[in-house]
């Protein structure tokens, strides 16, 4: 009697619902384990099931496209509070990154400008950068290694630029706290509830006042005793404007400030010591 191979429907019934499940899968793996070759109809059934499974899989290109679409899709929209918190975290990270290249210097300057509400724009050559407001702008010349070579300031209504070596010095030392103080001082000059014309006149008046104070202080510039300068002169110890730092008047120093508690000695009373130790009460 001749035994024919089972039909496809019979193979499905014998094989169950999967290759590895049911008697077909068990007999196949048992035959493979014993080193026997499975019947040809079993191999045909397995290959057919594999082809059916492979037809259900999507192409790799389509899968990659779906992944990119899922990553770019914004499922959660940030409100203003979340944006501010995220920006604060990014600024904290930026502040702790060591400035050792042109890119890092530019990013730090951009962050400082944004925090103060100032504009930060590149120049035409790629080595010039500008920090500006509606009343003044700074021009910074930075070499390809991120070292600041020159800083110039231009006020509205003025035709000439002024070099600011104090800003160059603090940027070369990566002292961005001092640089921020310079910018805050420049911004404070124009914090008036007035139009640009009035603000320009106010700055001219401020410059005239500072020039008069320095002229009066020059009359007793020969005095070397800092204590005598503070207590017996017309104005006290006058420190001229340095970049964004305004004119300062040291008008009173307590005698106890000349005592160094740690070393238990008296400090010199000359002008350099007063300026270095930042002694006395100051008016700006």
Q: Encode pLDDT of 198-251 as tens digits.
A: 999 999 999 999 999 999 999 888 888 888 888 888 888 999 999 889 999 998
Segment 4-43, tens digit of pLDDT: 444 444 444 444 444 444 545 555 555 555 556 667 788 8
- Both structure tokens of 198: 């009035």
HEC string of 241-260 equals CECCECCEEEEECCHHHHEE
Tokens of 85: 């918190």
Domain count for the chain: 3
The answer to whether residue 30 sits within a structural domain is yes
Same domain for 117 and 171, yes or no, is yes
Domain boundary residue among 191, 207, 230? Answer: 191
Which pTM was predicted?
Answer: 0.66
Is 82 inside a domain boundary?
no
CATH of the domain at 135: 3.30.310
Helix (H), strand (E) at residue 171 = helix 165-172
Q: Are both 178 and 105 inside the same structural domain?
A: yes
20 phi, psi to nearest 5 deg:
-90, -5
User: Are 170 and 235 in the same domain?
Assistant: no
Distances in Å between the Cα of 266 and the Cα atoms of 259, 269, 270, 278 are 5, 9, 12, 15
Query: Can you give the residue range of the structural domain that contains 271?
Result: 199-283
Q: Are residues 165 and 221 in the same domain?
A: no
Span 118-135, pLDDT tens digits: 999 998 888 899 999 989
Query: Looking at the structure, do residues 168 and 245 belong to the same domain, yes or no?
Result: no
Q: d(Cα 44, Cα 39) in Å, to the nearest integer? A: 9
23, part of any domain: yes
Count helices and strands (H / E) in the chain: 11, 10
In a shared domain, residues 46 and 111: no
Q: What is the pLDDT of residue 2?
A: 42
Distances (CA, A) of 2 to 5, 12, 241: 10, 22, 113
d(CA 186, CA 248): 15
Is it the case that residue 164 has pLDDT exceeding 60? yes
């Amino acid at each position: 009697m001749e035994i024919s191979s089972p039909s496809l429907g019979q193979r499905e019934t014998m094989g169950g619902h999967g290759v590895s499940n049911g008697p077909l899968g068990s007999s196949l793996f048992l035959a493979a384990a014993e080193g026997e070759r499975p019947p040809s109809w079993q191999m045909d059934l397995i290959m057919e099931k594999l082809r059916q499974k492979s037809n259900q899989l999507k192409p790799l290109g389509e899968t990659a496209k779906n992944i990119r679409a899922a990553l770019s899709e914004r499922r959660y929209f940030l409100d203003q509070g979340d944006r501010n918190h995220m920006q604060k975290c990014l600024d904290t990270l930026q502040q702790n990154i060591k400035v050792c290249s042109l890119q890092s210097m530019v990013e730090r300057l951009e962050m400082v400008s944004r925090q103060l509400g100032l504009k930060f724009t590149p120049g035409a050559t790629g080595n010039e950068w500008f920090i500006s407001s509606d009343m003044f702008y700074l021009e910074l010349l930075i070499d390809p290694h991120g070292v600041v070579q020159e800083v110039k300031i231009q006020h509205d209504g003025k035709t000439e630029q002024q070099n600011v070596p104090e800003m160059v010095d603090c940027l070369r030392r990566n002292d961005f706290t001092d640089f921020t103080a310079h910018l805050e001082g420049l911004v404070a000059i124009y914090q008036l509830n007035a139009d640009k014309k009035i603000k320009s006149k106010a700055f001219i008046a401020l410059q005239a006042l500072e020039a008069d104070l320095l002229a009066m202080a020059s009359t007793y510039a020969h005095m070397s005793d800092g204590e005598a300068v503070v207590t017996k002169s017309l104005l006290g110890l006058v420190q001229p404007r340095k970049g964004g730092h305004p004119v300062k008047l040291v008008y009173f120093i307590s005698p106890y400030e000349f005592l160094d508690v740690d070393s238990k000695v008296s400090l010199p009373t000359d002008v350099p010591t007063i300026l270095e130790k930042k002694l006395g009460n100051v008016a700006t």
